[in-house]
Amino acid sequence: MNAIAAHPENPLLIGQGLPPFEAIQPEHIVPAISQLLADLEEQLAALEAHVVPTWEGLVQPLEQIEERIGWSWGVIGHLMGVKNSPELRQAYETMQPAVIQFWNRMSQSQPLYQGFKVLKQSADWPDLAESQQRIVESALRDAELSGVGLEGESKERFNAIQLELAELSTRFSNHVLDATKAFSLTLTQPEEIAGLPPSWTALAAQAARAAGDETATPEAGPWRLTLDFPSYLPFLQHSRRRDLREKVYRAFISRASSGDLNNWPLIDRILELRLEESRLLGHNSFAEVSLAAKMAPSVEAVEKLLEELRGASYEAAKKELDELRQFAAAQGAEESADLQPWDVTFWTERLREDRFAYNAEELRPYFPLAQVLDGLFSLSKRIFGVTITPADGEAPVWHPDVRYFQVADEQGKPIAHFYLDPYSRPAEKRGGAWMDDCISRSKNVKGGSASVRLPVAYLVCNQTPPVDEKPSLMTFGEVETLFHEFGHGLHHMLTQVDYAKAAGTRNVEWDAVELPSQFMENWCYDRPTLLSLGKHYQTGEPLPEKYYQKLLAARTFMSGSATLRQIHFSWVDIELHHRYRPGQGETAADVRHRIAQNTTVMPPLPEDAFLCAFGHIFSGGYAAGYYSYKWAEVLSADAFAAFEEAGLEDEKAIAQVGRRYRDTVLAAGGSKHPMEVFKAFRGREPNTAALLRHNGLAA
């Protein structure tokens, strides 16, 4: 009887199925992970001592070890994102080094590496399915990128770097969360909230009550302004108080850049260590290491795409900024002569209202979350043939606001489930939105009979929460974000791959992983879809046709600026990870300002410390990979163009193309190279034409 079975009272040692969130406490972490690592260390040593270089003898037992630690540590990582607390942090940081040491030990195992090499050269190799071959090839590549070829001092140094990087990444993320939380402004005078919509004043009064002002009301205040996105963005869009916009903007761009939460030293150390790690692996830069496991063949190929998109968007962005200045001048704004970054969002919103005769706030009542979900689920049925129904109560949740859903196929058979955690909770939940896998699909064969383990996804957003008696009323941007994350979720849930290591988003090259998510955003502009999403939360009145036409017209509004912004971030990321050398004159901030000369039309302020909150590349998986959003957007726009060519009004044609998309892009997961998957769907390689057309930037 193994030790794990003897400790079922610790919920983190269950190791399979849905996590019992209501039972998991921070004090379970250290004993559970210590116990688990000791047990798995024994299993790993036994596997290494008798390597049988076959699928059943090597890949399966190794996967079982990985899945065990992946389940327990994955639950803890998930809670770090959605239910952060000092106790949880401390336990996580206590065990993180041991977990990393175990992963290093596994990925650098010479006996296992040699076993994979023998398997690849064996007589059994041609009999393996394509997905199995991809898993073996990825294991060999990942072992090489994990330092399997290193010995002695080099290996020790590599492992020390891995530990330090993981610790720095956690600290970076915590600093951003804490700095975001640390700032707030309490507004008490009516003139301080001039221009702000009722949705904002209600949210701000609710925040004030939560902070101890029990008598706060939307009408009389006080109102609490924070750097959390549902509070910060509408304030910049609508506040008529330029001085307050400046104050909150400066606070936002300087997050985590000074005092105890200063991320600048962490950034340099992270970049320094990544460069050292790359050199140990025989590469010239971290960008080369990053691209070794991506779809883009080289840094040059990435920069070529970025330059193509920069060329298409730069002049458009310049023109957009000039139009904004002229518009502000025509309105008699004294700032028009000296437009500043904290004015851009405000005047963009005014110009949108003027040009399209609506503002973002007017649409909110038409997008209550429940209605948006109905529309999203009916779209999924129309194009993919799947039925999604609530399954609340069937799974333990980490917060009362979390929902649980079932996904069924055409025959009504359950094929997947997902959690949805929709609202922002600045005190404990990190910003942004993401999809993560809770359980991956896999087929298990026992005693001659096969059973399929169904996938389960976590979908996490940070949208406006319900306020007082009103449901969550979403901005159109929040609707797009939900569609985006749901696209990732579909990729994870509709996979047909039977091997967990290549099912869903696993083993998919990082720069192709955004294809299904960005693809789904296009449907927010499809007329039947949008009209099914948009119904007034009080009257049930459908979204008026005029709003649909306005949203469609406004789709390419300021798209030059939006495209250029992504190019700017992508290029800064590549430059920092490819050519920048920490401590040799230029600082990371200098690099950003240098790149900004060609990739921004309003240069960042000298004190802009955006990099200090750029979690994507310093504490997420996007290091030397932020370009992936644009790379995959080329794929996703081209994929959506297949539906446009079939005719978006033709339900039968849409269902056929949707089925083909489901059977290729969504079903294949990481079992084939993304270019092959794309060609299987589209019949050819992708090109940028559809993306430029959708963005109104086609020549």
Beta bridge partners of residue 421, listed in sequence order: 460
Query: What DSSP line would sit under 620-635, residue for residue?
Result: SS-TTTTTHHHHHHHH
| Dist. CA 167–CA 33, nearest whole Å | 17
Residues linked to residue 417 through DSSP beta bridges, in sequence order:
406, 456
153 is a catalytic site residue: no
Q: How far apart are CA 629 and CA 376, in angstroms?
A: 22
Backbone angles phi, psi at 462, to 5 degrees: -135, 50
Active-site option among 485, 514, 521, 575: 485
Question: Would you give the end-to-end CA distance of the chain in angstroms?
Answer: 69
Spatial CA neighbour of 527 closest among 543, 541, 515, 513: 543
Largest Cα–Cα separation, the chain = 80
Inter-residue contact 269 to 168 (CB < 8 Å): yes
CA distance 492 to 437: 7
Residue 223's beta-bridge partner residues?
187
Dihedral class, residue 78 (left if φ above 0, else alpha if ψ from -120 to 50, else beta): alpha
The identity of residue 597, as a single letter, is Q
User: Coil, strand or helix: which one is 593?
Assistant: helix
DSSP summary character for residue 502: G
Q: How far is C-alpha 389 from the geometric centre of its chain's CA atoms? A: 24
Q: Which residues contact 535 (CB under 8 A, 6 or more apart)?
A: 366, 368, 371, 541, 542, 543
Catalytic positions: 485
